[in-house]
Amino acid sequence: MIRLLCLTLLLMAAQGEGAPLSRVVLLNGDAAEIICALGAEGRVVGVSHEILKCPELALKLSGKPSVGRWNSPNLELTASLKPDAVIAYSRWPDSRLEEGLNPLGIKVMRIDCYKLDKLTGDIKRLGEMFGKREKAEEMIQFIGAKLKLVREGVKRIPPKERVKVYVESYSDYVSVARGSGGAQLCEAAGGMNIAADQPVPYPRLSPEWVLRENPQVIVKAVSRGRVKVGYGVDDAVPLRDLWREITSRPGWDEIDAVKNGRVYLISADIWTGPRAFVGVCYLAKWFYPKRFGDLEPRKIHEEYLRRFLGVKLKGIFVYEGK
Would you write out the chain's pLDDT as a tens digit for each of its 322 residues?
Answer: 444 334 333 333 343 446 899 999 999 999 999 999 999 999 999 999 999 999 999 889 989 999 999 999 999 999 999 999 999 999 999 999 999 999 999 999 999 999 999 999 999 999 999 999 999 999 999 999 999 999 999 999 999 999 999 999 999 999 999 989 999 999 999 999 999 999 999 999 999 999 999 999 999 999 988 899 999 999 999 999 999 999 999 999 999 999 999 999 999 999 989 999 999 999 999 999 999 999 999 999 999 999 999 999 999 999 999 6
Are 98 and 56 found together in one domain?
yes
Q: Are residues 252 and 206 in the same domain?
A: yes
The answer to whether residues 201 and 184 touch, using CB atoms and an 8 Å cutoff, is no
307 close to 322: Cβ distance less than 8 angstroms: no
Q: How far apart are CA 177 and CA 256, in angstroms?
A: 21
DSSP for 191-244? -EETTTT-SSSS-B--HHHHHHH--SEEEEEE-TTTS--EET----HHHHHHHH
Please check whether residues 89 and 225 belong to one and the same domain. Answer: no
Q: In a 10 Å sphere around its CB, with 0-12 CB exposed, 13-18 middle and 19+ buried, how is residue 106 labelled?
A: buried
Provide the domain count of the chain. 2
Domain extent for 108 = 13-131
168/126 same-domain check: no
Q: What is the pLDDT, as a whole number, of residue 18?
A: 65
Q: Of the residues 131, 152, 174, which one is the last residue of a structural domain?
A: 131
147 in any annotated domain: no
Residue of 214, 319, 193, 208 whose CA lies nearest to 258? 214
Residue 42 dihedral angles phi and psi, to the nearest 5°: -70, -15
* Residue positions counted in the chain: 322
Other residues' Cβ atoms within 10 Å of the Cβ of residue 236:
16
Domain of residue 298, CATH code: 3.40.50.1980
pLDDT at 131: 97
Are residue 226 and residue 177 in the same domain, yes or no?
yes
Indicate if 109 and 237 belong to the same structural domain: no
In this structure, the answer to whether residues 108 and 208 fall within a common structural domain is: no
Residues 187, 305 share a domain: yes
pTM comes to: 0.91
* Residues 245, 194 within the same domain: yes
**Domain match, 122 and 170 both:** no
Pairing of strands 72-73, 68-69: antiparallel
In a domain, 72, yes or no: yes
Please check whether residue 26 is in contact with residue 87, taking contact to mean a CB–CB distance below 8 angstroms: yes
Clarify whether residues 116 and 20 are in a common domain.
yes
